[in-house]
Amino acid sequence: MKINFKFLFLFFASISLFCFAGNALLPSDTKNNTAASTEIQAAKAQTKIDSIINDALKKHVFPGCQVVVWKEGKVFLSKSYGYFTYENKQRVNDSTMYDLASLSKTTGTLLAIMKLYDEGKIKLTDKASDYLPFLKRTDKENITITDLLFHETGLQGSMFFYKSMFEKNNGLLLDLNSAKLGNPAYKYKEGLTSKFRTADFNIQVSDSLFLHKSFHETAMRKIALSRLGAKTYLYSCVNFILLKEIAETVSGQSMDEFLNENFYQPMGLRHMAYLPLRSHYKNEITPTIKKDFLRNGLLQGYVHDPDAGFLGGVSGNAGLFADAHDVAMVYQMLLDSGTVNGTQYLSAETCKLFTTKTSASGRRGLGFDKPVPSQPNINPCSSLAPAEVYGHTGYTGTCCWVDPVNKLVYVFLSNRTYPDDGVNMLARLSIRPKIQEVIYQSIVKK
């Protein structure tokens, strides 16, 4: 019998190829496998995060919250928990808006500064007094924009503008820390406030409190005359209040209008706004405090921070309201080198500079907060977060952290200040870092 070796070779080669193909993953199978793996990771992370948050809800750490995690530009986790208040009348949903507090610094003010830098209208070495004449001929004349962004100006942490609004008792300022709502001893000075908006009283602080139009100038003068300390790191809301003033001077617009025009509206951020009651219903916004004696009761839709509130709600240190999805969109834009859906909002060079440059002390980025792994007691992030992470936290119980190494965006929003902000259980129990740690344990390869 004559053997056809050529036929046998082809026969066994085809069988080998068939067997290999049966064990190998075709391109479509690879995608399906990756997707399935991601779903499993997300499910495991979600179960652990649910446990952390449900425990916090039982302990009344906050009445409700939102958690959003994006991995490589796609939603990895997104869930809303709890209610607006402990009365459990209105559930939190994915479009519920929260007072971002100091997360406004990087989600609002810093974006404006980055845009103006990107357009060549300001330099980081510029002096703040070049744009703000009230700082001329003071000991603050040489403070630069970089100093403000690094929190290395020597300015105080807060100015407590509202203290100058109250009558004095026997020549001494009343103890505002022990003030109670409705206490007749705490009265605003005559001629500085009104219950109604008028041409002269046009700074709205709450539903029935308007300040005289001269108050903004008074506040800026107070900054100019304030005591200046050493130019070492000290986190200060005043630094960002001045950055907002610079942004408005250079742009010729109010900062909220500038941000709406250049970022929020074209990016389709429907649930991100300063003075949110101008564009949203009150029941879309969680309350931040039940009895605020400065503004006569419940705060809902008005910024919690007193300095920001008495500056009219559009301030450099606070004032922005948003849901977690829209916050994630802003930081995903920064992670994607300034682009969203093919539209360039900031140059890649500007994004890289602002998100990577750190102060000489290593404690702060250009406006952004950073992990502090060497000091666990003050580290705002999980110990698993790499040094490249940048973001910010907020007093009302908010945070956003961006990890360019692992392509992650993590957002947590809550109103932990409701009904009052006396004890910060959110910080004591490290809820935000614990959630971040679960995220890293779930999706970062060891």
Query: Mind listing the pLDDT tens digit for each residue in 248-276?
Result: 999 999 999 999 999 999 999 999 999 99
Selected residue with higher pLDDT from 226 and 185: 226
- Is the predicted pLDDT of residue 16 greater than 50, yes or no? no
- Is the predicted pLDDT of residue 18 greater than 50, yes or no? no
For residue 258 the two structure tokens come to 């500038």
Burial class of residue 79 in the structure, from the number of CB atoms within 10 Å of its CB (0-12 exposed, 13-18 middle, 19+ buried): middle
Listed range (161-165, 363-367, 385-389, 395-399) with the worst mean pLDDT: 161-165
- Is the predicted pLDDT of residue 21 greater than 50, yes or no? no
- In 172-211, DSSP assigns E strands to 172-173, 193-194, 203-206, 209-211
Selected residue with higher pLDDT from 30 and 373: 373
The per-residue pLDDT for 14 is: 43
**Distance (Å, whole) CA 213 – CA 347:** 38
- Is the predicted pLDDT of residue 8 greater than 90, yes or no? no
Give mean pLDDT, residues 174-196.
Answer: 70
Give mean pLDDT, residues 318-332.
Answer: 98
Top mean-pLDDT range of 18-32, 162-176, 316-330: 316-330
Report yes or no: 247 and 113 within 8 Å, Cβ to Cβ: yes
**Distance (Å, whole) CA 209 – CA 212:** 10
H or E segment at 48? helix 27-58
- Is the predicted pLDDT of residue 45 greater than 70, yes or no? yes
- Is the predicted pLDDT of residue 40 greater than 90, yes or no? no
Query: Mind listing the pLDDT tens digit for each residue in 132-184?
Result: 999 999 999 999 999 999 999 999 999 989 888 877 654 545 555 555 545 55
The per-residue pLDDT for 163 is: 83
Listed range (92-101, 176-185, 301-310, 323-332) with the worst mean pLDDT: 176-185
335-341: long-range pairs with CB below 8 Å, 24+: 335/73, 335/402, 335/404, 335/407, 335/409, 336/73, 340/267
Selected residue with higher pLDDT from 33 and 60: 60
Query: Mind listing the pLDDT tens digit for each residue in 63-104?
Result: 999 999 999 999 999 999 999 999 999 999 999 999 999 999
The per-residue pLDDT for 445 is: 61
**With bands split at pLDDT 50, 70 and 90, how would you rate the model's confidence at 9?**
very low
**With bands split at pLDDT 50, 70 and 90, how would you rate the model's confidence at 307?**
very high
Give mean pLDDT, residues 12-34.
Answer: 42
